[in-house]
Amino acid sequence: METTTDGTFFQEEDYVRIKSTGETGRVNAIAGGVAYVLMDTTDESRVFAAYIDEDAAIERIEAENTTEVHGSSPFSAPRH
């Protein structure tokens, strides 16, 4: 999470939860006010607003509250 004069925003590597479903993921990238979230259980990327406020669709959580099953890098090859 980063706070600037423009407000508070998610940062890369923040762990988040979708408020409506409880699904968790990790912010993979931030670009142009958009947070790209790599979902833990599906490795699917989803797009959310990067700005944090009470109406945001996602919320920041601690890493131990996730169900992460993918590797630390979404671009790494699976280990055998």
| pLDDT for the residue 36 | 95
Domain-located, residue 79: no
Range of the domain at 9: 2-65
Cβ neighbours, 10 Å, residue 64: 7
Q: Tell me how far apart the alpha carbons of residues 51 and 55 are, in angstroms, rounded to a whole number.
A: 10
3-class SS of residue 78: coil
DSSP H/E element including 70: none
Dump pLDDT digits (tens) for 4-54. 777 788 999 999 999 999 999 999 999 988 999 999 999 899 999 988 888
Domain-located, residue 71: no
Domain-located, residue 8: yes
| CB half-sphere exposure, 76, CA atoms < 13 A | 7
| CATH number of the domain where residue 11 is located | 2.30.30.30
DSSP 8-state secondary structure symbol assigned to residue 64: G
Domain-located, residue 72: no
| pLDDT for the residue 46 | 94
Instruction: Give how many domains the chain has, as a whole number.
Output: 1
| pLDDT for the residue 51 | 86
Residues 6+ apart with CB under 8 A from 21: none
| pLDDT for the residue 66 | 55
Domain-located, residue 59: yes
